[in-house]
Amino acid sequence: MAPKGKVGTKGKKQIYEENEATLKFYTRVILGANAIYTALNLLVFYSSSTFWTWFALVFALAVYVGSYRSMTAMAHAVFGEDGSLLDGGIDLNMEQGMAEHLKDVILLTAILQVLSTISSYFWYLWLLVRVYPKLVVRSLSLVVYFPFFMALIDLLINLCLCQAPARAMFLLWVNFLGPWFSAETPGAAPEEVNEKKQRRQERRQMKRF
Protein backbone atom coordinates (compact mmCIF):
# COMPACT_ATOMS: atom_id res chain seq x y z
CA MET A 1 0.00 0.00 0.00
CA ALA A 2 1.30 3.47 -0.88
CA PRO A 3 2.19 5.81 2.01
CA LYS A 4 -0.62 8.01 3.15
CA GLY A 5 -0.67 11.39 1.41
CA LYS A 6 1.46 10.22 -1.50
CA VAL A 7 0.47 8.91 -4.91
CA GLY A 8 1.53 5.33 -5.59
CA THR A 9 4.29 5.01 -8.18
CA LYS A 10 4.28 2.56 -11.06
CA GLY A 11 7.01 0.04 -11.66
CA LYS A 12 9.24 0.14 -14.71
CA LYS A 13 7.61 -2.95 -16.21
CA GLN A 14 4.10 -1.58 -15.71
CA ILE A 15 5.01 1.74 -17.33
CA TYR A 16 6.63 -0.07 -20.26
CA GLU A 17 3.62 -2.34 -20.85
CA GLU A 18 1.10 0.50 -20.56
CA ASN A 19 3.16 2.66 -22.92
CA GLU A 20 3.25 -0.14 -25.49
CA ALA A 21 -0.53 -0.54 -25.25
CA THR A 22 -1.03 3.23 -25.55
CA LEU A 23 1.15 3.47 -28.65
CA LYS A 24 -0.69 0.55 -30.27
CA PHE A 25 -4.04 2.20 -29.57
CA TYR A 26 -3.04 5.51 -31.14
CA THR A 27 -1.49 3.69 -34.08
CA ARG A 28 -4.89 2.13 -34.75
CA VAL A 29 -6.57 5.53 -34.36
CA ILE A 30 -4.22 7.13 -36.90
CA LEU A 31 -4.48 4.28 -39.41
CA GLY A 32 -8.26 4.08 -39.04
CA ALA A 33 -8.83 7.80 -39.54
CA ASN A 34 -6.57 7.91 -42.61
CA ALA A 35 -8.16 4.79 -44.08
CA ILE A 36 -11.66 6.25 -43.75
CA TYR A 37 -10.60 9.65 -45.10
CA THR A 38 -8.68 8.25 -48.07
CA ALA A 39 -11.29 5.63 -48.98
CA LEU A 40 -14.20 8.07 -48.92
CA ASN A 41 -12.37 10.74 -50.91
CA LEU A 42 -11.09 8.26 -53.49
CA LEU A 43 -14.18 6.09 -53.91
CA VAL A 44 -17.17 8.22 -52.93
CA PHE A 45 -16.26 11.90 -53.19
CA TYR A 46 -13.44 11.71 -55.74
CA SER A 47 -15.25 13.92 -58.26
CA SER A 48 -15.61 16.69 -55.69
CA SER A 49 -12.09 16.38 -54.26
CA THR A 50 -9.90 19.45 -54.60
CA PHE A 51 -6.34 20.49 -53.84
CA TRP A 52 -7.39 21.34 -50.28
CA THR A 53 -8.71 17.82 -49.78
CA TRP A 54 -5.26 16.34 -50.22
CA PHE A 55 -3.54 19.27 -48.53
CA ALA A 56 -5.62 18.47 -45.44
CA LEU A 57 -4.43 14.86 -45.66
CA VAL A 58 -0.79 15.96 -45.76
CA PHE A 59 -1.42 18.34 -42.86
CA ALA A 60 -3.02 15.58 -40.78
CA LEU A 61 -0.13 13.22 -41.55
CA ALA A 62 2.36 15.88 -40.43
CA VAL A 63 0.48 16.31 -37.15
CA TYR A 64 0.33 12.55 -36.63
CA VAL A 65 4.03 12.05 -37.35
CA GLY A 66 5.11 14.94 -35.12
CA SER A 67 2.91 13.91 -32.21
CA TYR A 68 3.49 10.16 -32.48
CA ARG A 69 7.27 10.48 -32.81
CA SER A 70 7.31 12.65 -29.69
CA MET A 71 5.34 10.00 -27.83
CA THR A 72 7.65 7.19 -28.96
CA ALA A 73 10.69 9.23 -27.92
CA MET A 74 9.17 9.81 -24.48
CA ALA A 75 8.27 6.12 -24.11
CA HIS A 76 11.71 4.89 -25.23
CA ALA A 77 12.73 2.01 -22.97
CA VAL A 78 16.30 1.04 -22.04
CA PHE A 79 17.31 -2.61 -21.73
CA GLY A 80 20.46 -4.11 -20.28
CA GLU A 81 22.84 -6.48 -22.03
CA ASP A 82 21.05 -9.42 -20.45
CA GLY A 83 17.68 -8.18 -21.73
CA SER A 84 16.51 -6.86 -18.37
CA LEU A 85 14.47 -3.67 -18.35
CA LEU A 86 16.50 -0.77 -16.94
CA ASP A 87 14.16 2.11 -17.73
CA GLY A 88 10.53 1.91 -18.84
CA GLY A 89 10.53 5.42 -20.27
CA ILE A 90 8.24 8.32 -19.39
CA ASP A 91 4.70 7.34 -18.43
CA LEU A 92 2.48 8.35 -21.37
CA ASN A 93 -0.63 8.02 -19.22
CA MET A 94 0.51 10.45 -16.55
CA GLU A 95 -2.10 13.15 -15.94
CA GLN A 96 -1.20 16.74 -16.84
CA GLY A 97 1.90 15.51 -18.66
CA MET A 98 3.06 16.51 -22.13
CA ALA A 99 1.91 13.16 -23.51
CA GLU A 100 -1.64 13.99 -22.41
CA HIS A 101 -1.69 16.97 -24.77
CA LEU A 102 -0.08 14.99 -27.59
CA LYS A 103 -2.80 12.37 -27.29
CA ASP A 104 -5.46 15.10 -27.36
CA VAL A 105 -3.92 16.48 -30.56
CA ILE A 106 -3.99 13.06 -32.23
CA LEU A 107 -7.56 12.32 -31.14
CA LEU A 108 -8.88 15.71 -32.17
CA THR A 109 -7.14 15.51 -35.55
CA ALA A 110 -8.55 12.03 -36.16
CA ILE A 111 -12.08 13.13 -35.26
CA LEU A 112 -11.91 16.21 -37.49
CA GLN A 113 -10.31 14.25 -40.32
CA VAL A 114 -13.26 11.86 -40.41
CA LEU A 115 -15.81 14.67 -39.98
CA SER A 116 -14.15 16.63 -42.80
CA THR A 117 -15.40 14.01 -45.27
CA ILE A 118 -18.81 15.59 -44.63
CA SER A 119 -17.63 19.20 -44.67
CA SER A 120 -14.14 20.64 -44.92
CA TYR A 121 -15.17 23.44 -42.55
CA PHE A 122 -14.69 21.04 -39.64
CA TRP A 123 -10.95 21.60 -40.01
CA TYR A 124 -11.36 25.13 -38.62
CA LEU A 125 -12.06 23.58 -35.23
CA TRP A 126 -8.48 22.34 -35.19
CA LEU A 127 -7.35 25.94 -34.67
CA LEU A 128 -8.94 25.74 -31.23
CA VAL A 129 -6.76 22.86 -30.04
CA ARG A 130 -5.22 23.47 -26.63
CA VAL A 131 -1.43 23.16 -26.47
CA TYR A 132 1.39 24.81 -24.59
CA PRO A 133 4.12 26.81 -26.35
CA LYS A 134 6.73 24.04 -25.87
CA LEU A 135 4.42 21.58 -27.60
CA VAL A 136 3.91 23.65 -30.75
CA VAL A 137 7.14 22.58 -32.45
CA ARG A 138 6.75 18.92 -31.53
CA SER A 139 3.13 18.49 -32.57
CA LEU A 140 3.01 21.09 -35.39
CA SER A 141 0.01 22.70 -33.75
CA LEU A 142 -1.10 26.23 -32.85
CA VAL A 143 -1.42 28.15 -29.62
CA VAL A 144 -5.02 28.94 -28.72
CA TYR A 145 -6.09 32.51 -28.08
CA PHE A 146 -9.39 32.02 -26.20
CA PRO A 147 -9.39 30.00 -22.93
CA PHE A 148 -13.13 29.41 -23.27
CA PHE A 149 -12.67 27.50 -26.51
CA MET A 150 -9.68 25.60 -25.13
CA ALA A 151 -11.87 24.08 -22.43
CA LEU A 152 -14.71 23.55 -24.89
CA ILE A 153 -12.53 21.48 -27.21
CA ASP A 154 -11.33 19.31 -24.31
CA LEU A 155 -14.96 18.75 -23.35
CA LEU A 156 -15.86 17.92 -26.97
CA ILE A 157 -13.12 15.30 -27.19
CA ASN A 158 -14.28 13.51 -24.07
CA LEU A 159 -17.94 13.59 -25.07
CA CYS A 160 -17.35 12.47 -28.66
CA LEU A 161 -15.19 9.52 -27.68
CA CYS A 162 -17.51 8.54 -24.80
CA GLN A 163 -14.44 7.47 -22.83
CA ALA A 164 -14.52 9.76 -19.83
CA PRO A 165 -17.88 11.41 -19.07
CA ALA A 166 -16.77 12.07 -15.51
CA ARG A 167 -13.69 13.91 -16.77
CA ALA A 168 -15.88 15.88 -19.17
CA MET A 169 -18.11 17.01 -16.31
CA PHE A 170 -15.02 17.87 -14.30
CA LEU A 171 -13.70 20.03 -17.14
CA LEU A 172 -17.09 21.69 -17.44
CA TRP A 173 -17.09 22.59 -13.77
CA VAL A 174 -13.43 23.69 -13.55
CA ASN A 175 -13.42 25.79 -16.72
CA PHE A 176 -16.95 27.15 -16.87
CA LEU A 177 -19.22 26.73 -13.87
CA GLY A 178 -16.67 26.88 -11.06
CA PRO A 179 -15.02 30.20 -12.02
CA TRP A 180 -18.42 31.74 -12.77
CA PHE A 181 -19.87 30.87 -9.37
CA SER A 182 -16.73 31.94 -7.51
CA ALA A 183 -16.66 35.26 -9.37
CA GLU A 184 -20.31 35.98 -8.70
CA THR A 185 -20.36 35.16 -4.99
CA PRO A 186 -17.01 36.14 -3.42
CA GLY A 187 -18.61 37.10 -0.12
CA ALA A 188 -20.91 34.12 0.20
CA ALA A 189 -18.57 32.07 2.40
CA PRO A 190 -18.28 34.61 5.29
CA GLU A 191 -22.04 35.12 5.28
CA GLU A 192 -22.66 31.37 5.52
CA VAL A 193 -20.22 31.09 8.44
CA ASN A 194 -21.98 33.92 10.27
CA GLU A 195 -25.36 32.28 9.70
CA LYS A 196 -24.10 28.99 11.12
CA LYS A 197 -22.77 30.74 14.20
CA GLN A 198 -26.07 32.48 14.74
CA ARG A 199 -27.95 29.18 14.46
CA ARG A 200 -25.64 27.55 17.00
CA GLN A 201 -26.16 30.41 19.43
CA GLU A 202 -29.93 30.17 18.99
CA ARG A 203 -29.84 26.42 19.67
CA ARG A 204 -27.79 26.94 22.82
CA GLN A 205 -30.23 29.55 24.06
CA MET A 206 -33.17 27.23 23.37
CA LYS A 207 -31.49 24.43 25.34
CA ARG A 208 -31.06 26.73 28.34
CA PHE A 209 -34.78 27.43 28.40
| pLDDT (tens digit per residue) in 65-123 | 999 999 999 888 888 888 788 888 888 888 777 888 888 889 888 888 988 888 888 88
pTM: predicted TM-score of the whole model, two decimal places: 0.57
Residue 205 reports pLDDT greater than 70: no
- Residue-level pLDDT at 146: 39
Please state the rounded mean pLDDT for residues 39-60.
Answer: 86
Mean pLDDT of the chain: 71
Q: How confident is the model at residue 136 (pLDDT cuts 50, 70, 90)?
A: very low
Amino acid at site 30: I
pLDDT of amino acid 150: 47
Instruction: Say how many residues make up the chain.
Output: 209
Q: Provide the pLDDT confidence category of residue 59 given band limits of 50, 70 and 90.
A: very high
* Number of other residues whose CB lies within 10 A of the CB of residue 62: 13
- pLDDT higher than threshold 90 for residue 29: yes
User: Distances in Å between the alpha carbon of 20 and those of 26, 30, 74?
Assistant: 10, 15, 12
Rounded Cα distance, 116 and 107, in Å: 14
Q: Is the dihedral of CA 128, 131, 136, 140 positive or negative?
A: negative
SS3 letters across 106-125: HHHHHHHHHHCCCCHHHHHH
Cα gap 64→44, rounded to integer Å = 24
